[in-house]
Amino acid sequence: MSKLFSPIALRGLTLRNRAVVAPMCQYSAIDGVANDWHFVHLGRFALGGFGLVMVEATGVVAEGRISYGDLGLWKDEQIAPLARIVDFLHSQETAVGIQLAHAGRKASTPVSWHSAEDLATQEGRQAVGYERWQPVAPSAESHDEQNADFQVPTALDAAGIAHVVNGFVAAARRAEKAGFDTVEIHAAHGYLLNQFLSPLSNHRTDEYGGSLENRMRLVLEVAEAVRAAWPQDKPLLARISVSDNAPGGWTPEDSVVLARELKARGVDAVDCSSGGFAQGRIASTAAYQVPFSKAVKQGADIPTMAVGLLGDVAAAEAILENGEADFIALARGALDDPNWAVHAARLLDGEYSLWPVQARRVDGRDKALGIRA
């Protein structure tokens, strides 16, 4: 059996394989509530054979959403629609997680395909759940002063920071009620927790700013609090930007230190991405972020998830065999081919058992066409 399709356990959760669908914002919710779009969008990946499907960045508080179209878990009414999705994925033997997020100063941004004309009337705004609000951040500085989509945020005070931590905890408890197998703390891509970590965005002079220890403080407080609230037999993940990809920013060496501290607080795996700040630049090429996953895995001795243009099946297998990551996560690649995992299983192992029983006639079709030996 290939490494990609060998089971792997994190705490009490055993995944049927190491192919993961990474969180992808759909900007299609109203008041944070999942709907039929989310059900179909996520359900197709379970039919496609993935071992773990992660639900998109989900606001732990209403003001923590990237846009008015984001999912949320800040109130109980948002639980049942997510539970429906979880139940279906479980029926297909796929594990399901949810990314808990706060956008910080990147909150309250537009949904790109809703034009000014769409939002010109009260009826149009109501149809898409349009809202606009004041973002918060570690420091009162815009994400990008040259981009009018980003507001100047309010700097969080002690009460605001406590509200953030409590929001993550309450959302984790709602995720448990919805039946999720894992939750992921989103500390990447220039959103709030990443903003506290990075010297590019954190210019505080209190205990949450300045030194690396201080800049890590909020992320670690959130990890401790969520771990205490989340069932002990269920794994806790964290996504980090391993590098800001910018001079004077957060570095892979900083990420190794952070990953060690997260591991000490009960985080079971680190999802290794990068970037998220206006100053950051990196060329996007096939598997371009795998070195970040390798650095964290080897430096912190913790399981890692590689992500970033990883659709080549042989390359994905080699990444796992070479010890550069423990999981292969696809986002746009999964959008392009929701059946990527079942196709990869055929290529690597000549295996068709991942197909739902209703679809296994694909085996006979492949034999007839000479695709399968």
At 54, which CATH number? 3.20.20.70
What is the Cα–Cα distance from 230 to 144, expressed in whole angstroms?
35
Q: What six digits make up the tokens of 104?
A: 């910080």
Query: Is residue 30 a part of any domain in this protein?
Result: yes
Query: Is residue 60 a part of any domain in this protein?
Result: yes
Query: Is pLDDT above 60 for 74?
Result: yes
pLDDT at residue number 373: 57
> Can you tell me the mean pLDDT for 350-356?
95
User: Is-contact 135 108, C-beta < 8 A?
Assistant: yes
Which one, of 219, 291, 228, lies nearest residue 262 by Cα?
219
Query: Is residue 234 a part of any domain in this protein?
Result: yes
User: What residues contact residue 2 under an 8 Å CB cut-off, 6+ apart?
Assistant: 317, 345, 348, 349
pLDDT at residue number 296: 98
Query: Is pLDDT above 60 for 75?
Result: yes
Answer yes or no: 208 catalytic: no
Query: Is residue 308 a part of any domain in this protein?
Result: yes
Beta-strand runs (E) in the chain: 8-10, 13-15, 19-21, 52-59, 71-72, 95-101, 136-137, 154-155, 182-187, 236-241, 269-273, 304-307, 327-330
Give the pLDDT band (50/70/90) at residue 371: confident
Which one, of 81, 74, 60, lies nearest residue 179 by Cα?
81
> Mind listing the pLDDT tens digit for each residue in 139-175?
999 999 999 999 999 999 999 999 999 999 999 999 9
Give the pLDDT band (50/70/90) at residue 372: confident
| Structural domain harbouring 251 | 8-369
What is the Cα–Cα distance from 152 to 51, expressed in whole angstroms?
40
Q: Nearest 5 degrees, angle CA 234-CA 183-CA 166?
A: 110
Query: Is residue 16 a part of any domain in this protein?
Result: yes
Q: What six digits make up the tokens of 142?
A: 């815009």
Query: Is residue 21 a part of any domain in this protein?
Result: yes
Query: Is residue 27 a part of any domain in this protein?
Result: yes
Residue type, 197: L
Query: Is pLDDT above 60 for 177?
Result: yes
pLDDT at residue number 316: 98
Q: Which of 56-65, 118-127, 364-373 has the lowest mean pLDDT?
A: 364-373
What is the Cα–Cα distance from 181 to 16, expressed in whole angstroms?
13
- What does the chain come to in residues? 373
100 φ/ψ angles, rounded to the nearest 5 degrees:
-90, 130
Query: Is pLDDT above 80 for 15?
Result: yes
Query: Is residue 2 a part of any domain in this protein?
Result: no
> Can you tell me the mean pLDDT for 24-53?
98
Give the total number of structural domains in the chain.
1
> Can you tell me the mean pLDDT for 278-288?
95
What is the Cα–Cα distance from 48 to 62, expressed in whole angstroms?
32
**Residue 349 CB neighbours (<10 A):** 15
Choosing from 27, 130, 191, 208, the catalytic residue is: 191
pTM score, two decimals? 0.97
247 dihedral zone (left: phi>0; alpha: psi -120 to 50; beta):
beta
What is the Cα–Cα distance from 333 to 161, expressed in whole angstroms?
36
Query: Is pLDDT above 60 for 218?
Result: yes
Q: How many helices (H) and strands (E) does the chain have?
A: 12, 13
